[in-house]
Amino acid sequence: MAASHRGPARGSAPTWRSLLDRLSRVWERTAIYIPVLLMGVLALGTYWLVRNTPESLQPEGQRAVSTEPDYYMRKFGIKTFDDAGQLKSDVSGIEVRHYPDTDTLEIDKALIRSYSIEGRLTTSTGDRALSNGDGSEVQLIGNARVVRDASVDPDGREVPRLEFRGEFLHVFVNVERVKSHLPVVIKRDRDEFEGDTFAYDNMDRVADLKGRVRAVLVPRKAAGSVP
């Protein structure tokens, strides 16, 4: 009797072709998710870099301005002149320090000479002085003193010597004003005034004294009187 040919027995191992077909189908299903997986990995990597990268330095123009002096001078003298070449101010002292954050000058044992347009001299002194960048405002601290020399105004009238003394004086050079929130003594020629606070405007020639005010007025001698 001739032997009959039968196929592989049930339950035998799959052929290589069928295995490759299965792997191909699995790959096709998985391949559609690969771009999504790559994007997720890229996003996680970017987040990690942002969290672990040190902050960049600020641009030069945005750096915080130092509160420490950026320069100083000792036993100095500074002169400024107006557009016509005439002396406007002369500042000297033991030491000056410049603070860049406020553009302020701090002067020890300050001596400041200021000249008006008419050439009238005003001298300011103090143990310490704080001045803004252009010198238009000066705060005198400790043994503060401002003296305006006697002069003659454009109308030919005599302007007597004027002096302010106190522990603090705030001088506004350009508008010729002086004020203080502390007690001050004013001497006008031989007259003397005292007050707890004051403000003086040289343009109006008015002194506003407040608080406990005291005045000593010396009578003027009449013309032709015998001494």
pLDDT at 156 over 90: no
Range from 13-22, 98-107, 153-162 carrying the lowest mean pLDDT: 13-22
Question: What is the number of domains present in the chain?
Answer: 2
Regarding whether 101 and 42 lie in a shared domain, the answer is: no
51's enclosing H/E stretch is helix 34-52
CATH number for the domain including 161? Answer: 2.60.450.10
Could you read off the pLDDT of 172-216 as tens digits, one per residue? 988 889 999 999 999 998 999 999 999 999 888 888 999 999 999
Tokens of 221: 């001698």
Regarding whether 86 and 37 lie in a shared domain, the answer is: no
Structural contact between residues 129 and 141, judged by C-beta atoms closer than 8 angstroms? yes
Q: Name the pTM for this structure.
A: 0.66
CA distance 145 to 66: 32
> Which range of residues forms the domain containing residue 116?
71-216
Tokens of 209: 């004294």
In sign, the C-alpha dihedral spanning 130, 135, 138, 142 is: positive
Kindly give, in sequence order, each residue whose CB lies less than 8 Å from that of residue 205, ignoring residues fewer than 6 positions away: none
Q: Taking CA 94 as the corner, what is the angle to CA 90 and CA 97, rounded to the nearest 5 degrees?
A: 85
pLDDT at 19 over 50: yes
Cα 77 to the center of its chain, rounded Å? 24
Kindly give, in sequence order, each residue whose CB lies less than 8 Å from that of residue 140, ignoring residues fewer than 6 positions away: 110, 124, 125, 126, 128, 129, 146, 168, 169, 170, 171
* Closest among 82, 75, 133, 78 to 109, alpha carbons compared: 75
For residue 89, with 0-12 CB atoms within 10 Å meaning exposed, 13-18 middle and 19 or more buried, which class applies? Answer: buried
Is 85 part of a structural domain of the chain? yes
Structural contact between residues 89 and 80, judged by C-beta atoms closer than 8 angstroms? yes
Regarding whether 93 and 29 lie in a shared domain, the answer is: no
pLDDT of amino acid 2: 44
Is 144 part of a structural domain of the chain? yes
Regarding whether 80 and 39 lie in a shared domain, the answer is: no
The string over 169-179, giving b where at least 16 C-beta atoms fall within 10 Å of a residue's C-beta and e elsewhere, is: bbbebeebbbb
Regarding whether 169 and 103 lie in a shared domain, the answer is: yes
Kindly report the number of other CB atoms within 10 A of residue 167's CB atom: 15
Per-residue confidence at 52, pLDDT binned at 50, 70, 90? low
* Closest among 211, 112, 125 to 169, alpha carbons compared: 125
pLDDT of amino acid 31: 57
Is 226 part of a structural domain of the chain? no
